[in-house]
Amino acid sequence: MKIFIDTANLQEIESALKRGFIRGITTNPSLLAKEPKTAFETHIGKIVKLIKEYQPGISFSVEVFSRDPKEILEQALRFYDAFDYPDLAIKVQIGWDELEIINRLSREGVKVNCTACMSIKQAVMAAAAGARFVSLFWARIRDGGLDDEKNKAMRDGFLARHPGALEQKDFDPNYVVSQTRCALDREYPNAEIIAGSMRTAADVKNAGLAGAHIITVPPKLFPAMAGHYKTDEVVNQFLTDFAGWMK
C-alpha cells in the first residue's frame, strides 16, 4: 500500500516530505479551513512548491467546494490550469449529477479523485465514469451502522427513500474496501482505492490489508505508525550493552 498525508498544513506536509515515505497529499475544504486565512490559490501554490522541492512527481489531490455541477466543472478546470502540476488530481464528491462532471473531466484528461464514497456501488460507478481514484471513508462507513439518534434518523430517512439500498455488511469497512478492490481489479484496473477517514494506526493497517491501494493518513497518526514499545526496548538494550562494552 502507498501512504498519503491528509492535511493542508504546510509544516506537517514539509515534515512528511523530508522523511520521504509519503507518495501523495490529499486536502479538503475542512482541512484548508483550519489554516491561516489566505487566498485559496496562494495556499495550494505553497503546497505545490514544497512538493517540487522535496518529492516532485507525487500525487496531490485538491477538492472543489461546491454542490452545483456548473461550478464544480469551472473550479476543476481552473484549478487544473492554475496549479500547473502534472500529478494533480481534482477531488469531486460522488453523486448522481457529479458523475457527469467526473466523466467529462476524465475525457478531457483531468485526473479525478472521487471523494466521500461510502459504498461499493458508489466507488464502482465513479471508476466506471472515469475516476482515477475512488476515496472510501473507512471510519465513516463504520459510523453508518451506529444507532445513535442522529445517525439512525439519517439512515432511516435514506432507506425510506431508497428501500433495499443498504445491508448490514455495508457498514463494515473491511467488506466494502475488499469487495470494491475485487470489482476494480476485474473491471476498472486503472482506478485505485484511497482509504481515508483514518482514526487509529490500526485503521491504517486494516485498510491496507483489506486491499486499499492507498491510505491517506492524518499526520497525528504517523508517530504511532513508526513506533513500537518493543523497538524502544531493544534499541535501548543495544545501546546499553554497547556503552558497557566501551567502558
- pLDDT tens across the length of the chain (247 residues): 999 999 999 999 999 999 999 999 999 999 999 999 999 999 999 999 999 999 999 999 999 999 999 999 999 999 999 998 999 999 999 999 999 999 999 999 999 999 999 999 999 999 999 999 999 999 999 999 999 999 999 999 999 999 999 999 999 999 999 999 999 999 999 999 999 999 999 999 999 999 999 999 999 999 999 999 999 999 999 999 989 998 8
Q: What is the pLDDT at residue 150?
A: 94
pLDDT of residue 84: 84
Phi-psi region of 138 (alpha: psi -120 to 50; beta: other; left: phi over 0): alpha
Which pTM was predicted? 0.95
Which pLDDT belongs to residue 246? 87
Q: Catalytic pick from 91, 111, 152, 230?
A: 91
Q: Grid coordinates in use for 18?
A: 523530508
Confidence at residue 247, expressed as pLDDT on a 0 to 100 scale: 83
C-alpha distances in Å from residue 112, one per residue of 62, 100, 131, 207: 10, 12, 5, 21
**CATH classification of the domain holding 129:** 3.20.20.70
Q: Which domain holds residue 128?
A: 2-246
* Nearest CA-CA partner of 94 in 142, 135, 62, 139: 135
**Residue 121 bears catalytic tag:** no
C-alpha cell at 48: 505545490
pLDDT value at position 101? 96
Domain count for the chain: 1
